[in-house]
Structure 1
Amino acid sequence: MFDIDILEKGGVVMLILVGLSIYALGVIFYKVQQFITAGVFNTSYVDRTMQHVKQGELTAASQKVAGARGPVARIMRVAIECIMNRDMTIKSRESEIARVGSSELRYLESHMRGLEMVATTAPLLGLLGTVIGMVRAFSKLGEAGTRVDPSMLAGGIWEALLTTVGGLAVAIPAVAAYYIIDGVIEKVRSQMKDVTVQILALEDRFIRNEEEMAKAEHDRQRRELEDRERSIREALEEQEKAVESMRSSPKSSSTLRLLNPSYNRF
């Protein structure tokens, strides 16, 4: 068959390129299946959940994202749970969110290095096969001596260029697939960053509200204490005025002496 002839004429390099093409196709199909299974393309819940988050309805937001799949849904669940857990410090919340985000991105980026390797090395392997083929062609011409047939040189060059064609045929789809998949991953990374920033900004707002409420409570208690002290002072002043008034009245003085014998020393 013609395909078998091409493989035979391409030599070992062509066999390597065939192996790389099979690996690249496997990675591409795996990434498509991975994205579909993980729910990467389903982001309809994001806007509705963020509306609840912006309104401070964390319980409703948690319920909305509970049944959703995908890395964005998981980072949102973790971020909302961290915000609702008031026992966690700010540093521990950020560490937990960063850990989950890194785990999700590593999962999405699996086998991307291999696909990039195929896209990079396939053209170089094709060039290597061409150089090896050219060396063989000119070696045969040298062995032929004066009996050089132009068709011999043309046939050698044709066989040598097969590996270049094979390398480009493997590399071009691999490069295109790599950038398409990387674009999807970058979009997910951007969405994860956006929702995390918005949720953490909500946390800052909650902290400011709590600080304002604590300050308002402190001011209220201080005012109550001042009012109580003022009432006590006014009561004491009224009592002192009453005593002075009783002292200044002769009848009141007699009454005070009868009620309190120690008053005589005044």
Structure 2
Amino acid sequence: MIDYIQKGGLLMWPILGCSILSIAVFAERLFYLHRASIHVGEFLKGLSNLIRRRNFAEALHESAGTPGPVARVIHAAIIRHDAPRAELRDIVQDAAQLEVPKLERFLAVLATIAFLTPLLGLLGTVAGMIDAFGTIASSGGYATVTELSGGVYKSLLTAAAGLVVATPTFVAYSYLSSRVNTMLHDMERAGIEIVHNS
């Protein structure tokens, strides 16, 4: 692999850096979203029963002990359970808005890497072609295939490396975005249900 990086030229290093950053961000986000996910239906069913029985202390305890953004939104609503419904709706919306940046954290980094690495690969392709044509120019307009192959090989390596990093990064970004959208939907559903039941 080091051999490919050296033959690909200087632009292989930022592409490699992007791949390491992409893996780190994906692993961190996957771990965070896994810890934040709960079975929303069961959670809401249990809390709804407690709220119907006006057992707000137990509902607070349940929501505080449950991880994730859905539980935090519900917790904010239960704390102010005696507020008018319109105010409770605002409380739920405010709590949900605080959770959105936590869920979307670093997703823009993945999107940037997915779009940047093919451009770095393209830049490497251009640099390789410049080397190839520089070889032709320096040899008086004539060059052997062997002399040209170094620049062409370099250009193909950087283009391939850029695509190899960009493709899984874009897949990771799409997957994580889908998970985040599901959690946002769950928060909205939980908020509507808690406002309705309070």
Match of 2:11 among 9, 13, 30: 13
Equivalent residue, structure 2, for 1:259: none
Match of 1:48 among 45, 49, 54: 45
Q: Structure 1-normalised TM-score?
A: 0.67
Q: How many residues in Structure 1 have an aligned counterpart in Structure 2?
A: 196
Match of 1:199 among 188, 194, 198: 194
Percent identical pairs in the alignment equals: 28
Cα gap change, 1:140 to 1:41, in 2 (>3 Å): farther
- Contact 2:88/2:195, CA 8 A, preserved across alignment: no
Alpha-carbon displacement from aligned partner over 1:133-161 (angstroms, at most 9, x marks no partner): 11111111111125421222233212111
Alpha-carbon displacement from aligned partner over 1:110-131 (angstroms, at most 9, x marks no partner): 1111111101111111111101
Deviation for aligned residue 1:164: 0.6
Match of 1:145 among 132, 136, 140: 140
Q: Aligned runs of 1:72-83 on 2, under 5 Å?
A: 72-82=70-80
Deviation for aligned residue 1:190: 0.2
Distance 1:92 1:47 in 2: 21
- Contact 1:52/1:61, CA 8 A, preserved across alignment: no
| 2:177 maps to 1:182 | yes
Structure 2 letter corresponding to 1:198: E
Equivalent residue, structure 1, for 2:68: 70
Range with bigger deviation, 143-152 or 71-80: 143-152
Equivalent residue, structure 2, for 1:134: 129
Range with bigger deviation, 189-198 or 138-147: 138-147
Q: Aligned runs of 1:93-172 on 2, under 5 Å?
A: 93-145=88-140, 147-172=142-167
Alpha-carbon displacement from aligned partner over 1:188-230 (angstroms, at most 9, x marks no partner): 0000001111222334xxxxxxxxxxxxxxxxxxxxxxxxxxx
Distance 1:114 1:157 in 2: 31
Deviation for aligned residue 1:95: 3.1
Deviation for aligned residue 1:90: 4.6
Equivalent residue, structure 2, for 1:223: none
Equivalent residue, structure 2, for 1:232: none
Larger radius of gyration: 1
Unmatched tracts of structure 2, length 5 or more: none
Structure 1 letter corresponding to 2:110: L
Deviation for aligned residue 1:58: 4.2
RMSD between aligned residues: 2.2
- Contact 1:58/1:80, CA 8 A, preserved across alignment: no
Distance 1:90 1:64 in 2: 22
Unmatched tracts of structure 1, length 5 or more: 204-266
Alpha-carbon displacement from aligned partner over 1:45-86 (angstroms, at most 9, x marks no partner): 424235427x7234254454342111111111222332x22x
Structure 2 letter corresponding to 1:77: H
Distance 2:48 2:92 in 1: 20
Distance 2:141 2:11 in 1: 31
- Contact 1:118/1:171, CA 8 A, preserved across alignment: yes
Cα gap change, 1:93 to 1:47, in 2 (>3 Å): closer
